[in-house]
Amino acid sequence: MTTHAEDTGEAEETFPYERACPFAPPAQYAQFEKEPVKQVPLPTGLKIWAVTGHENMRQLLTDPRTSASRREANFPFYFNAPPEFRTETSFIGYDGREHTTTRRKAAVTFTNRQVQRLRPRIEEIVDKAIDAMLEAGPGVDMHHALSLPVPMTVICLLLGIPYEDHEFFQVNGTTLLGGTATMEERQAALVDVNEYLFGLVAKKEQEPGDDLLSRAIAEYREAGEEYEARDLVNLCRLLMNGGHETTASMISLGTACLLEHPDQLAQLKADPELIVPAVEELVRYLTIGDAAVPRVAMDDIEVGGAVIPKGDGILCLGLTANRDPAVFENPDDLILSRGNRRHFGFGHGVHHCIGADLARLELQLVWSRLFERIPTLRLAKPFEEIPSKERAIIYGLWGLPVTWDV
């Protein structure tokens, strides 16, 4: 665990904290019970405001006096971000009109109606990954055999990226979001991914296909709007990063969680319709994006008994909202049939996850097909021995060794 030397000379623990158990909030979250909105230091030395609890987080994320702009001096980066990490963003880092107009370019692809149309394609992708697992096993690392390739194949399909380039994006995506890469490695990954995507944009301008990127280009042209290739590159990179590491982490951590809660898993196996509330509950319970909802106060903002001064950085800790007993009864229990969708596992407010319905469908299909086709699936080593991504922006596991009976 890293520490930060305070002006007082005392060492203070930096955020994000380790989860001693991947299914429980870090023990340090107990400090927020007394002080739900509180300053904590990041590894860079910057002090930011942790906003915790369901009501405080709801209030903050619907307050128009907050900004998601990476250009703000006190934006909560976990590393000393070089200039390109502040400027090369897309709508996740935009506010107001710029956010709405750019988000709209992608939104049509991610409506629930459009997503449901993909069901047969995604089912095929999931089944192929399970076929490959069955052929290679028993005894495989499911994270690499299924969790990473399934969302990667889906997002490449949506963006019109050829299948043979998956590996390239998988490796670079982990470098950008995995939490262990050096700054030089992150910068190199950003350069490589951008170079590839500039080439892709140029290709789609010449030979449009049936994909999000080609549709965005056509929209600009039909409206007679000027656009820069860089904007489309940034949009694609956001969707690649947003749609890959997150869903992959949910698949692996969620599978481990189900296997470690055999009574709940038995209910799911007995009643396949339980899969819809089960996905919702696992997204709530695990909140892999707990460290991934950053903002900056654009005015003095009063929330949870504190005043966040104008210009200060903020992190909204979704795990605290999602374990808030005022909203979720017995919040620390995994109850697949809970049926409470008021969680913030996909964020809240204008930046609510654009890919939430796509992620839901991928998770539903993965767990339905996985436990139907491999009913004896189990961990190949004790859960405590599987390393987790402690300092990552998106929480998860580094691998998932599984086995089954033949």
Binding flag, residue 51, ligand HEM (CB under 6 A): no
Q: Binding residue for ligand HEM (CB under 6 A) from 293, 296, 327, 366?
A: 293
Cβ nearer to ligand HEM, comparing 137 with 161: 161
Distance CA 105, CA 223 (A): 12
Binding flag, residue 289, ligand HEM (CB under 6 A): yes
Question: How many residues form the binding site for ligand HEM (CB under 6 A)?
Answer: 26
Cβ nearer to ligand HEM, comparing 22 with 137: 22
Binding flag, residue 355, ligand HEM (CB under 6 A): yes
Question: At its nearest, how many Å lie between ligand HEM and the CB of residue 369?
Answer: 17
Question: At its nearest, how many Å lie between ligand HEM and the CB of residue 59?
Answer: 14
Gyration radius (Cα) of the chain, Å: 21
Cβ proximity of 348 and 61 under 8 Å? yes
Residue nearest to ligand HEM (CB): 355
Cβ nearer to ligand HEM, comparing 242 with 304: 242
Distance CA 149, CA 77 (A): 28
Question: At its nearest, how many Å lie between ligand HEM and the CB of residue 243?
Answer: 3
Binding flag, residue 331, ligand HEM (CB under 6 A): no
Identify residues 92-111 at the interface with ligand HEM (CB under 6 A).
92, 103
Cβ nearer to ligand HEM, comparing 217 with 317: 317
Cα angle 125, 128, 132; round to 5 = 140
Query: For strand 47-51 and strand 313-316, is the pairing parallel, antiparallel, or unpaired?
Result: parallel
Distance CA 160, CA 213 (A): 7
Cβ nearer to ligand HEM, comparing 155 with 232: 155
Of 2-10, 50-58, 197-205, 234-242, which segment contacts ligand HEM by CB under 6 A?
A: 234-242
Query: For strand 37-41 and strand 306-308, is the pairing parallel, antiparallel, or unpaired?
Result: unpaired
Question: At its nearest, how many Å lie between ligand HEM and the CB of residue 157?
Answer: 11
Tell me the one-letter amino acid at 19.
Answer: R
Cβ proximity of 102 and 231 under 8 Å? yes
Question: At its nearest, how many Å lie between ligand HEM and the CB of residue 315?
Answer: 10
Cβ nearer to ligand HEM, comparing 137 with 280: 280
3-state secondary structure at position 140: strand
What totals of helices (H) and strands (E) does the chain contain, helices first? 16, 12
Q: Which two tokens stand for residue 168?
A: 């390239």
Name the residue among 394, 378, 337, 391 with its Cα closest to residue 140: 378
Q: Binding residue for ligand HEM (CB under 6 A) from 345, 364, 367, 396?
A: 345
Distance CA 315, CA 15 (A): 10
Q: Binding residue for ligand HEM (CB under 6 A) from 133, 319, 359, 400?
A: 359
Of 38-46, 174-182, 195-203, 343-351, which segment contacts ligand HEM by CB under 6 A?
A: 343-351
Distance CA 183, CA 193 (A): 15
Produce one character per residue of 203-217: b if its CB has 16 or more CB atoms within 10 Å, e if not.
Answer: ebeeeeeebbbbbbb
CB-CB neighbours of 385 under 10 Å:
9
Question: At its nearest, how many Å lie between ligand HEM and the CB of residue 111?
Answer: 13
Binding flag, residue 160, ligand HEM (CB under 6 A): no
Q: Binding residue for ligand HEM (CB under 6 A) from 288, 336, 377, 386?
A: 288
Cβ nearer to ligand HEM, comparing 153 with 247: 247
Binding flag, residue 91, ligand HEM (CB under 6 A): yes
Distance CA 75, CA 93 (A): 10
Show the DSSP H helices in 207-317 as ranges. Answer: 212-222, 229-260, 262-270, 275-286
Between 235 and 274, how does the x/- string for binding to ligand HEM read (CB under 6 A)? ---xx--xx--xx--x------------------------
Binding flag, residue 279, ligand HEM (CB under 6 A): no
Distance CA 122, CA 41 (A): 41
Distance CA 324, CA 26 (A): 14
The footprint of ligand HEM (CB under 6 A) covers 68, 91-92, 103, 155, 238-239, 242-243, 246-247, 250, 283, 288-289, 292-293, 345-347, 351, 353-355, 358-359
